Each structure stands twice: as C-alpha cells, then as structure tokens.
Structure 1
Amino acid sequence: MESNSKIVALVGLPGSGKSTVGRHLSKRWGIPFIDSDHEIEARTGGPVRDFFAAHGEAAFRDLEQAVIAQLCADNGQARILATGGGAVLREANRQVLHQHCHVFYLKASPEELYQRLRNDKTRPLLQVDDPALRLRELFEARDALYAEIAHYVIDSARLSSHQLLHRVAMQAEMAGIVPARAQP
C-alpha cells in the first residue's frame, strides 16, 4: 500500500454495512464517500442489475474493474470507497485495493447477514429460493479473498450500525489513517 494513501476502502458481503458505514464516516471525517456500484449506475444510466442482465457478468466485471481502478488512483484526495461484494473476485481489483487503499473487511457470518437481509427485495443475488444458503455460498467463496486484501478485519456480527461505525473509525484514527476526531 502507498504509505501516504488517503483512501479507505470497505469490503464485505452484501448487508455487512459498507454503504451505511461509508456514509457515516464521510460525515464524521468530512471527506467524500463513493459507492462503486452507484458510480457504475451513474456511468451506465441504470441499475447494476439491469446492466448485469443485459450484458452478462463478464461485461459487468470488466466495467467494475475499470471503475475501481479509477476510484483507487491516487489523486491526493481523501475518500471512502465501498465496493460491490463481488469486486474481490477479480485479481486486478484485489491488487489495486490492497496496494492503494486502507482496506477494512466488514465481516459477518452468513447467518447474521440473513437476519439483516431476509426481507430485502432489492438485492438480486438474494432473490433465490434459499437466500440463507446463497449467503453461505457467497461467504465460502469470498471470505478468504476479503481477508487476503484487508489491512483491518472488523467483525460486524451483533453490532449496531453505530457500533460498527465506531469500531472502524477508532481503528482508522488509531492507525493514523485519518486524524482523530476532536472530542466535544
């Protein structure tokens, strides 16, 4: 990783808290938050699921790789990046994230994620007969990849979003990634 990197990247399975934590960290630290899936949607003019359905997974992963490479390029500006859950499937993404960002893996068990997401109808990967099984499969396929690129692993199980935010912020501040927030 570049020693002067000002990019905090959040990785993890769907429902692990990447977007929620990223938005709150952005407010706390006063730096921009970018969700790679939202950036892809802005570029394609529609939802990721529509692009995925129309063009296939390979085309989506190609676009995702280009977007992540651009978002991780060091332009001297601090930012927080939340990646799509499958971004780690590509070696190029794992390399650029690990080398150019401070990567936080927000880790939760498939059972915990199922409890959080069981009523969520907006996540295409979970619109299957057995979403709990699908989450277990995703965890088995991706956990080692998230851990491989992570500089910090934060166990998000049984934590509220506020507690998870506090853990990530505290770790980043203690590591000197961002200045410690002044206490009121």
Structure 2
Amino acid sequence: MPSKEFDTLPNIYLVGPMGAGKTTVGRHLAEVLGREFLDSDHEIERRTGATIPWIFEKEGEIGFRSRETIVLDDLTSRRDLVLATGGGVVTQPANRSYLKTRGVVVYLYTPVELQLQRTYRDKNRPLLQVENPEQRLRDLLKLRDPLYRDVAHHIIETNQGAARELAQQILRVILSSGSH
C-alpha cells in the first residue's frame, strides 16, 4: 500500500536518451507510488495504430514530433502519473515547457557505452538504423544533454544499480528535495 506522503507528489516525468531505462525504472516507480505508468512512445503508437518506425518513415521526424507534442500535452495534463518520455521529447520547446511546469522531471543520465549495450539489437529505434549507431548516440547526446539538464529538476546516473534501486533513489531524491 503506497504511503500517504506520496499523495502530495506531483506527476513524475522521466527524460533521457534511448537506453536510459526510462520505461523499466518508470514501471517500478509507479508501482511503489501506486500510480498509473505510461510511456509516451507506446501511447503514440496506441493512439495512431502505427509503430514509431512507420511514423518516421511516412511522416519523417517532424511529423512524429508533432504527434508527440499533442500526446505529451494531454498526458502531462493528467494527475497521479509516472511518465517515461521518448529520447527526443526535449527537442521541442513546447514539450520542455509542459514537462517542467506540470510535474517533477528526472533526467536519467546514461553514458553512450551503456546506451549502446541496451539498444544495439533494437530495430524499433529509427534514429539508430544507421551505419554507425555509436556515433549517432554520441551526436544525439551532445545535442540533447543540455536540453535534458535544462528541463530536469533532478539528475540520476543510471550506470549504478538495478531499475528497482533507481526507482527508490529517485523517490528519495524527490522527497528530500521538497520538489512536491
């Protein structure tokens, strides 16, 4: 049974690069809090009836980002939610505003080497379907890391501990900071 002290917590939004563990950690965090867990990428697929690679192929990244902003606006308007976001969500100013003003944002910082380990077989990541996925991850992190840091209320390094431990660490950091 979740503690009453969790009732006052705002929504928690997890941001970070692909392979950071946002979905896995988010599920554990939602379970501890007794809250609904959603993944914005899964929600986009559910609402469109199409996979993200298909949307990228047919509409390009611009079309996908437009859909992502609409879904994010809706999801961040809900209450009692833990939300894992797509890696590129921070590239759109409107998304950064929704995240930062409607809940507590936690950046799951993950080194490129670990991202590569976690994503190298995943064909469901359109931005990694290139000749040199490691270089693509380095380029994306270089562009997005300042945006993740700008939107984040807290930064957690994911190279230490399992998902369940990271969820507990996130909760401790949020509770001790008074971000609620």
TM-score when normalising by structure 1: 0.87
Hey, what's the Cα distance between the residues in 2 that align with 1:125 and 1:55?
14
RMSD: 1.7
Shift of 1:176: 5.0
Q: What amino acid sits opposite 1:69 in the alignment?
A: D
Match of 2:22 among 8, 11, 18: 18
The partner residue of 1:125 within 118, 127, 137 is 127
Q: Which residues of structure 2 form unaligned runs of 5+?
A: 1-7
1:57 aligns with 2:61: yes
Give secondary structure in 1 for the equivalent of 2:131: coil
- The amino acid of 1:8's aligned partner reads I
Shift of 1:157: 1.9
Whole-angstrom distance in 1 between the partners of 2:179 and 2:33: 11
Runs (5+) with no aligned partner, structure 1: 179-184
Match of residue 8 from structure 1: 12
Contact 2:37 2:83 in 1 (8 A): yes
Residue in structure 2 matched with residue 172 of structure 1 by the alignment? 174
Q: Using the TM superposition, give the Cα deviation of residue 126 of structure 1 relative to its aligned residue in structure 2, in angstroms.
A: 1.6
Percent identity, aligned pairs only, is 41
Question: Structure 1 residue 131: deviation in Å?
Answer: 1.2
| Aligned 1:64-75 pairs, distance under 5 A | 64-73=68-77, 75=78
**Separation in structure 1 between the aligned mates of residue 163 and residue 94 of structure 2, nearest angstrom:** 30
Greater fraction helix: 2
Check the 8 A contact 1:105/1:146 in 2, yes or no: yes
**Number of the residue aligned with 1:181:** none
Give the conservation status (yes or no) of the 8 Å contact 1:112–1:158: no
Compare 168-177 and 143-152 and name the one that shifted more.
Answer: 168-177
- Which of these residues, 46, 49, 53, is aligned with residue 50 of structure 2? 46
The reply to whether residue 111 of structure 1 matches residue 113 of structure 2 is yes
| Distance in 2 separating the partners of 1:133 and 1:63 | 27
1 CA distance for matches of 2:100 and 2:41?
A: 19
